[in-house]
Amino acid sequence: MTDALVAEFARNAEVSGFRVHRGEGPSLEDAGVSQALYGLADTGSVVLAASPAEPRSRSLLPFVHISILREDRILPGLDQLFAAIGAELPSALAIVTGPSRSADIEQRLAVGVHGPGEVHVVLVPLEAR
């Protein structure tokens, strides 16, 4: 089941605007790097939880953000996410589906307005741990 979830996640993440990497991530200057708590296969989203070790500024302020996601942390969807998290929600939980985008002004799409305009996800295979 994990291989199918990984494939579905990668496909949907690319559709939503992520650049998906397997094993080795890109070396990009000034990129923010965060460890994703989970990935959601049905939308290709990464789930980021705020903590002292993972401040929100790492994923929100730089124009380029890289999420590191272990393949065994990919879940089918939201129901499984909230079952996995349980009652102990972090102070902030962000579900990121591609680069920041907004069409608030004159209904013109702008990318990177409220967060990163370029997003990458690095899938770390089970055997690489």
In this predicted structure, the answer to whether residue 112 has a pLDDT above a threshold of 70 is no
32-85 pLDDT per residue, tens: 999 999 999 999 999 999 988 898 889 888 989 999 999 999 999 999 999 999
SS3 113: coil
Q: How many CB atoms lie within 10 A of CB 128?
A: 11
Q: Count structural domains, the chain.
A: 1
Q: What is the pLDDT of residue 17?
A: 94
Q: What is the band of 123 on the pLDDT scale with cuts at 50, 70, 90?
A: very high
Residue with the larger pLDDT of the pair 98 and 13: 13
What domain range is 112 assigned to? Answer: 2-128
User: At residue 82, what are phi and psi to the nearest 5 degrees?
Assistant: -70, -30
CATH assignment at residue 8: 3.40.50.10420
Query: 0.85 exceeded by the pTM?
Result: yes
